[in-house]
């Protein structure tokens, strides 16, 4: 049971990453739109900025449907286009069904001076429904994805063939959606009360709550379960809610993006920002750790270690993708990883105590662009960077001390630096021939095509479910370009880096060819 729950949680987190990956583009788009509307800009630029802002706001205000379609498509093993269409249909008919039920039972809330804020209801795509925000998209996306995989391959005889396959999934989802539309009218207000209670607890926990959240978010990365921690706080009511222009915005990231859109009227940053500063460790922690590992490397190996770590450092600092760097020392020394998590928690707690309200969940690029439209008097971004410089030194000296004290064999401290490892942590921009060779090694190392059940990916990892984990050979996988291998139950995670989507596509294509031959 424990392994099944872990597998389900990992599948959810890797599926949820897919729509989240687009939000960073939206955030930068919003920041650019606000800059384009500054008073000294030419009227034409201001006009384009207004259009761009409305476009980005449309995405921000409809994250629920984006999560519904994104999750369903990510979960679907086959016929992903059909899965996306069904997800969209299910979302719309839920709104219609819920609105019809609320209307028939005289349960529709009346709009007040602040619209529907505080009533537990909201208007979505023209329907007044219970206000589940992104939770609605997550729930419908998970259910639709599961039902789609369960029934999308069912076919009927010639007379009823048109009702088989993906259409049968739609048929199955109609009564399910109807039941949900009615049931959630009564159940969701109770759940929402609990969510508000959890959110209130995290707020009253103050600095200690920030430490626990930040430590867990960093420490859980090897398991992939950190997504289950930061996503609810960033995109759902667990992270807080705020009324902006009569609309209820939920989640720390969503609230900040809305504040960006209304930066000219902003007088304070919402306290939920405490859950959206974990990019701090990605930027400053990465710098301190890399400098420490270069410092402690043997003199003859320093040049090779720089070539090994600097590309990963660049990706971590600029884009906020730290896994290639994390796995360069995680398995070598769990102690270093534990200390890394503690320093991360302390750093974000310190930022909160000192009054920094700077948004940062990815890397330096996203941090600078998004905060550029917020007054430094509100974001206190100067505190963010001042603390960053100090904590970089803390990471550096603590890691240098621990590495030397316990003689930890971080890169460059062994007798020689393996040239193949050096190759693995480069930018990963392999040619097609090399990619095919890597895919072949992956398949062989995973026990052959017949042993591979499903291939997915998150930000930087291939996540593969296998039938028999005893057939997995890490040595064979290690011969390909990769940055680390993690085995959890029957799930094998291969750390690739920024080119993971290309690696997944190459692997899936080769698998399809092999299974077609078989």
Active site residues: 458
Secondary structure of residue 459 in the 3-state scheme: coil
Burial class (CB in 10 A: 0-12, 13-18, 19+), 69: buried
Nearest Cα residue to 439 out of 517, 510, 490: 510
Instruction: Round to whole Å and give the CA distance between 483 and 330.
Output: 11
Helix (H) or strand (E) holding 370: helix 364-371
Instruction: Round to whole Å and give the CA distance between 49 and 388.
Output: 32
Residues ≥6 apart with Cβ < 8 Å to 115:
246, 247
Helix (H) or strand (E) holding 349: helix 334-354
Secondary structure of residue 440 in the 3-state scheme: helix
Contact 469, 439 (CB under 8 A): no
Contact 337, 329 (CB under 8 A): yes
Instruction: Round to whole Å and give the CA distance between 503 and 372.
Output: 35
Distances (CA, A) of 419 to 77, 323, 426, 513: 37, 20, 11, 32
Instruction: Round to whole Å and give the CA distance between 36 and 38.
Output: 6
Nearest Cα residue to 378 out of 358, 364, 363: 358
Distances (CA, A) of 396 to 37, 92, 294, 314, 400: 42, 52, 10, 17, 6
Nearest Cα residue to 347 out of 220, 205, 199, 218: 218
Residues ≥6 apart with Cβ < 8 Å to 300:
none
Torsion from C-alpha of 77, 83, 87, 88, nearest 10 degrees: 150
Sign for the CA dihedral angle at 501, 506, 507, 513 comes to: positive
């Amino acid at each position: 049971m424990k392994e099944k729950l872990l597998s389900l949680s990992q599948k959810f987190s890797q599926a949820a990453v897919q729509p989240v990956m687009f939000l960073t583009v939206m955030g930068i788009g919003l920041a650019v739109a606000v800059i384009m509307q500054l008073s000294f800009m030419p009227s034409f630029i201001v006009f384009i900025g207004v259009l761009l802002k409305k476009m980005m706001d449309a995405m921000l205000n409809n994250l629920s449907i984006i999560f519904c379609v994104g999750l369903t498509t990510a979960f679907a093993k086959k016929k992903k286009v059909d899965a996306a269409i069904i997800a969209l249909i299910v979302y719309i008919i839920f709104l219609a069904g819920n609105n019809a039920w609320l209307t028939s039972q005289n349960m529709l809330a009346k709009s007040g001076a602040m619209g529907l804020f505080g009533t537990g209801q909201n208007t979505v795509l023209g329907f007044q429904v219970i206000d589940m925000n992104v939770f609605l998209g997550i729930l419908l996306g998970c259910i639709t994805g599961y039902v789609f995989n369960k029934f999308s391959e069912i076919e009927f005889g010639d007379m009823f063939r048109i009702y088989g396959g993906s259409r049968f999934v739609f048929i199955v989802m109609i009564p399910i959606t109807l039941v949900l539309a009615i049931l959630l009218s009564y159940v969701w207000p109770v759940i929402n009360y609990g969510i508000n209670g959890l959110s209130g607890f995290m707020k009253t926990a103050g600095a200690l709550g920030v430490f626990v959240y930040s430590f867990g978010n960093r420490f859980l990365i090897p398991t992939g379960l950190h997504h289950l921690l930061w996503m609810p706080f960033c995109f759902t009511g667990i992270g807080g809610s705020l009324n902006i222009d009569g609309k209820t915005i939920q989640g720390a990231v969503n609230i900040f993006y809305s504040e960006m859109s209304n930066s000219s009227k902003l007088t304070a940053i919402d306290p939920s920002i405490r859950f959206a500063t974990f990019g701090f460790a990605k930027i400053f922690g990465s710098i301190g750790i890399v400098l420490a590992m270069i410092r402690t490397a043997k003199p003859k190996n320093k040049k090779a270690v720089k070539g090994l770590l600097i590309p990963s450092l660049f990706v971590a600092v600029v884009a906020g993708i730290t896994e290639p760097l994390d796995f360069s020392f995680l398995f070598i020394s769990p102690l270093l990883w534990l200390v890394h998590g503690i320093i991360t928690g302390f750093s974000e707690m310190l930022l909160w105590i000192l009054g920094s309200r700077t948004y940062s969940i990815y890397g330096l690029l996203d941090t600078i662009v998004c905060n550029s439209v917020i007054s430094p008097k509100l974001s206190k971004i100067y505190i963010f960077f001042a603390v960053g410089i100090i904590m970089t030194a803390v990471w550096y000296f603590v890691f240098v001390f621990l590495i030397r004290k316990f003689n930890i064999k971080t890169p460059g401290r062994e007798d020689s630096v393996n040239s193949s490892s050096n190759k693995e942590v480069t930018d990963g921009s392999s040619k097609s021939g090399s990619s095919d060779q890597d895919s072949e090694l992956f398949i062989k190392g995973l026990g052959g095509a017949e042993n591979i059940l499903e291939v997915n990916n998150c930000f930087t990892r291939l996540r593969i479910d296998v039938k028999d984990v005893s057939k997995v050979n890490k040595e064979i996988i290690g011969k390909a370009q990769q940055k680390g291998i993690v085995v959890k139950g029957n799930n094998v995670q291969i750390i690739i880096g920024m080119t993971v989507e290309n690696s997944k596509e190459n692997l899936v294509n080769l698998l399809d060819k092999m299974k077609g031959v078989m």
